[in-house]
Every structure is written in structure tokens, then in C-alpha cells.
Chains A and B, each alone.
Chain A
Amino acid sequence: MSSTVYVDRGSPVHRLNPMTKLVAMLCVIVIVFALPVWWVSGLVLAVAIIPVAVISRCGRTLSRISATILLPILVVLFVVQGLTFPGGKTALVSWGVFTVTSEGLHFALGIGLRLVCLVLASVLLVLTTHPGDLMSALTARGMSPKFGYIISSTLQLIPAFRDRANAILLAQQARGLSVKGSPLRRIKIMMPLLGPLILGMFTDVEDRSTAMEARGFGSTARRTSLVPVPDSSVQRVSRWVMPAVSLAVIVVPFATGAL
């Protein structure tokens, strides 16, 4: 049973310093949200995120996780915006009182592509960066180990939550609980499982906290590291260059009146 979503592929992306990946992810997110044009997000997706995903050899896992997160959001986004966008004038499809407009879909495309970039970049970071390396990198840069751990352990929360939920569900199914039926019935069945799930998570958190403190996590000594997190001068420079380039990419179109 793993407690992280990290996928060890040993790719060049995996070998990058976590700070480099974190800075790159933040730059991508800032660019796509600062420039309100759909094709910017499309371009970032095509020239940055997808190639990095391919190099990382985590494409399949990335697609699966991202689709699970994004599909419901995108469906709702396109339906709602396509039908109700206030500036919608060009009707594409009409069905009774409902009309899907070109402007609504265009708006949904812009928002949707930004969300796709946000989710893909974040999940890619998590898939290619071990939480421990991220914590070490953050701590090495002066961040409180506790804060670093909160960030890295948050990344582990989802798989830990999923594993426990599966265990509870299996235990209940072994006692004859049927989870078949309509979505509403499934939700109704799942509700009583939330109690043990949440209480169990509280116990886990207390246990983990005790185990961490027993190993001196609360110590004020300056941390050392058995295995140094890999870094290089090229990466150190790139961590300054990437934000500078991002800033330029955002400012120049506005300064020149292109946007």
C-alpha cells in the first residue's frame, strides 16, 4: 500500500530539483491565468506541459488522475457557460428554451484550458516529485520543516484517504453491503461510511504526529540530510530566469497593446 501518488520513473524530469519544478509550475499557472486568451493556455499546454509529461513517462497516470478531476468540472463548465453566457448572441444549437451560444463555448474554452493547465501542471509536479524531496528542498531554503511537511503530507492525504475508504468499503461489502444502483442510492449508502473514515483519519494523524515527534521532528536543530537533493548551477539560474521570462511574457503584450 503506497501513501503517495509519486510515480518513480527515473526520468530527467524526476531528477530535477523539486524547487525547479515548483517554480516552473507556478510560472505556467501565473502565465495562463494572467493572459486571458485561450490560445495562450493551448500553447503552454502544447509546448510545455505535454512534452514534459511525455519525457516524465507519467503520461498515462497523469491522464487518468487529471481526467478524474477535470471531466466533471469541464462538463459543467461547458454546459453552464454554453447555455447561460450573458454575452451569448451567436446561437449554435437551440432546443426549446435552451440555446447554446458560440460566445459561451468560447468563454468556457478559455476557462477550461486554464483549468486543464493548472491541474496538469500540479499533478505532474506531484507525480514526478517525492514528497520527501519536496520537503527537503523547501526546508533547505529556510522554510519551517513543519510547514514543509504540511505541504508534502497534504500530497499524501489523497491516496491515504482513498486506501482507508477502500478498506472500509470492502469490509462493509464483505458484510453484504451492495453498492450498486443509482448515483443517489450510492451516495446514500456511502454516507454512513464517512464516520469511520474520518475518525480513522484522526487516529492516523495522531499516530503519525506521535511517531514524527518521537524522531525529533520538533527539534530546533539545523536539519541535515542523508541524501542531498540534486541541484545544479543551470537549475539555480533557471529558477531566476523562468519567473523573469514569465513576467516579460505577461507584461509585453499589455505594454505593446497586443492585448
Chain B
Amino acid sequence: MIRLDGVSYAYPDAVRPVLENVSLDIGRGAIAGILGASGAGKTTLAKIMAGFIPAVDGGELSGTVSVDGQGMGDLPLAEAVSRVGLVIQNPFNQISGARYTVREEIAFGLENFGVARPEMQGRVDEVAELLNLGPLLDRSPYELSGGQQQLVAIASMIVLRTPVLVMDEPTSQLDPAGTRMVFDVLSTLRGTGITVVIFEHKLELLHQHADALYVLADRSIVAAGDPTDILADARLAEWHIGSTRYTRAARAAQDRGLLAGLQHLPVSLEQAVAVFADDGGAR
């Protein structure tokens, strides 16, 4: 669905590129997580996928980005955003301020694209039902919690029916309840056919929700694959990404002479319980 081939990018006047030879291919309806340390270029990659780079930020972009086989490179921004939706970190700053209620806020993008009123109403109701936003529709977006505001931002994108949704650290400014709300949306979107690319640091939640993980480090994609394999990769520490608390617990146990001979470290609660139960049983 969304494919990047040999994408390299340098900001205007930059000495060296932020990204070099990035390639990935994420299929229709998949949920892909992209990991990377702060400063690894995650936001830059998110903006490239969504068509904001180079259209807005300028700079030199090489390689190709395509959605459903169609190149994004030469599209004007207004057309690119109708193919790839973008949700950013700060929920408050995504409220347009131009609309009074959540219902109108969700419809704002449809208004910009000139969608007729009856269709708009139908699409807003449909998205509100999908994300369980019904009780919030007549409230002001400014009255909502951070998590609810982020849901409204996601709804504002989904309502546009873009085949791809890119989420750039959507929970970084949210509390645990808000974070849970956003990740629950991923479960809801599964099966809708929307391809989701989420840039995140919350490894355990990514393990639960993503179909595949990609690691962005040293300006390129350095590892890709099944979430369990990626999160157990010892090189994550070298890439300053860390590991799940279950993996850390297993490593600490190994340092103390426990779990000897264990090849695959646990990355989730279930795996940890199984590993420690086996080890306890063996003793």
C-alpha cells in the first residue's frame, strides 16, 4: 500500500542527509510500527510519507514514495493529503480553532475538500460510531482531555478516507489513559483496510498492536520484521531504543545466573510468565 524505495532526504542547507536509502513496503490494512531514538528522523520520515516533505519543508528528496502504486513525489500537498493522513504529537495543536463542536471539527477537512453536506453528515456519524465519539460530538474540542482530543484528530483524518494513516508519536504527550485510548483505536482500525504507520516509543503497546516493526537508526531502516523478533533484538540498546520491561527483567535474571541458556528473551507479559515458569519448574 505504501512503499518507499531508496528514499534519502536532506533539509535545506544541511551538511548531511537526515535519511539515507530508506526502503520499506507496508501492505494494505497492516499496522506497522516504526521505532527510533530521539533525533533518528522519525518525524522527517512521517512527513515524507504524508507528502509534507519536500512540499512544505523544502530540501532535497531522492528515491520514490508511492501509495497504492501511485507516486507521491509530484503531487501538490492538497492532493497528497487526500491519500495519506497525518496525526502529530500535540493533540491541542491539531484542533483547528475554526470550529465550535467536535462534530464540526471532524467535518473540517471534508469542508475543505468541498464534500456535500448530506455526505459529510453521514461520514462524520460513521467515524464517530467507529471510534465511539458519539457522546462528545456536541462538545467543544477544547473541553476534552488530551486523549480525547487525539481521538478527534484521528477521527478528523479517518473521515477523509485516506488509505494510509501516519501517526507521529501520537501518545507522547498523553497520560496512560489517553495512550490506551489511542492504541485501542488501532484495534478498531484493524479490519477496516486502512494502513496504519505509527511512530512510537511505547514498545509493549507496539508489540500488542503492530503487525511489523521497523527500526530507524543511523539514518536508515536497520531492522524490520515480526514485533517479537525485533523487540528481542539485542542491538536495540545500541540504537538507543531500549527494550520492554519483560526483556529487561529477563536480562537482569540472566546477569544473576538465572534463565541460563535462554535463546529468545521475552518481550511480553505472557512470554515472561512462560519463561520464568519454565525456569522455576526446572529448579
Residues of chain A at the chain B interface (Cβ within 8 Å): 1-4, 130-133, 135, 145, 149, 152-153, 156, 204, 207-208, 210-227
B65 neighbours in A (Cβ, 8 Å): none
Partner of A130, one of B93, B100, B108: B100
Q: Is B163 an interface residue (CB 8 A)?
A: no
**A132-B100, A208-B93, A215-B156 are known contacts; what are 14 more A-B pairs with Cβ within 8 Å?**
A1-B92, A132-B104, A204-B90, A207-B89, A208-B94, A210-B52, A210-B56, A210-B86, A211-B153, A214-B87, A214-B109, A216-B113, A224-B111, A226-B103
Contact string against A for B residues 74-90, beta-carbon threshold 8 Å, 1 for contact and 0 otherwise:
00111001100111111
Interface string of B134-152 (1 = CB under 8 A from A): 0000001010000000000
15 residue pairs from A and B, CB less than 8 Å apart: A1-B92, A3-B97, A204-B90, A208-B93, A213-B56, A214-B88, A215-B81, A215-B96, A215-B157, A218-B76, A223-B112, A224-B115, A224-B120, A225-B117, A226-B121
**Nearest-neighbor residue (CB-CB) of B119 within chain A:** A224
Q: Which residue of B lies closest to A210 (CB)?
A: B88
Distance between B248 CB and nearest chain A CB, rounded to angstroms: 32
Which residues of B line the A interface, CB within 8 A? Answer: 47, 50, 52, 56, 76-78, 81-82, 85-90, 92-100, 103-104, 107-117, 120-121, 124, 140, 142, 153, 156-157, 160
Q: Decide: B100 and A213 in contact? CB cutoff 8 A.
A: no
Q: For the complex, what is the distance from the CA of A107 to the CA of B248, rounded to whole Å? A: 78
Contact B116 A224 (CB under 8 A): yes
Are A226 and B117 neighbours in the complex by a CB distance under 8 Å? yes
By a CB distance below 8 angstroms, the chain A residues around B47 are 210
**Which of B81, B90, B97, B142 counts the most chain A CB atoms within 10 A?**
B97
Given A2-B142, A207-B90, A221 and B77 touching (CB < 8 A)? no
A214 / chain B contacts, CB cutoff of 8 Å: 50, 52, 81, 85-88, 109, 157
Residue of B nearest to A223 (CB): B111
B77/A213 in contact, CB under 8 A: yes
Known contacts being A210-B86, A220-B78, A224-B120, is A131 close to B97, with CB within 8 Å?
Answer: yes
Q: Which residues of B contact A217 (CB under 8 A)?
A: 112
Check A226–B142 contact: CB distance below 8 A.
no
Q: CB distance A218 to B77 under 8 Å? A: yes
Contact across chains for B142 and A3 when beta carbons are under 8 A apart: yes
Q: How far is the CA of A35 from the CA of B187 in the complex (A)?
A: 66
Residues of chain A lying within 8 A (CB to CB) of residue B78:
213, 216, 218-220
Across the A-B interface, give the 7 residue pairs with the lowest CB-CB distance, nearest first: A215-B109, A221-B114, A207-B93, A216-B112, A226-B107, A211-B94, A219-B78
- Complex Cα distance, B143 from A1, in Å, reads 7
In the complex, which of the residues A3, A204, A211 has the most CB atoms of chain B within 10 Å of its own CB atom? A211
Q: How far is the CA of A208 from the CA of B108 in the complex (A)?
A: 14
Whether A213 touches B52, Cβ cut-off 8 Å, given contacts A1-B142, A2-B142, A223-B111, is yes
Closest A-chain residue to B159, C-beta based? A215
Chain B residues with CB under 8 Å of A3's CB are 92, 95, 97, 142
| Cβ contacts under 8 Å, A1 to chain B | 92, 142
Output the residue of B52, B114, B124, B156 with the most chain A CB within 10 A: B114
Q: Which residues of A contact B93 (CB under 8 A)?
A: 204, 207-208, 211
Please indicate the chain A residues that have their CB under 8 angstroms from the CB of B95 in the complex: 3, 211
Closest B residue to A205 by CB, please name it: B93
Q: Quick check: B104 and A212 within 8 Å, CB to CB?
A: no
Q: Nearest residue in B to A212 (C-beta to C-beta)? A: B96
Which of B50, B100, B116, B120 has the most chain A CB atoms closer than 10 A to its own CB? B100
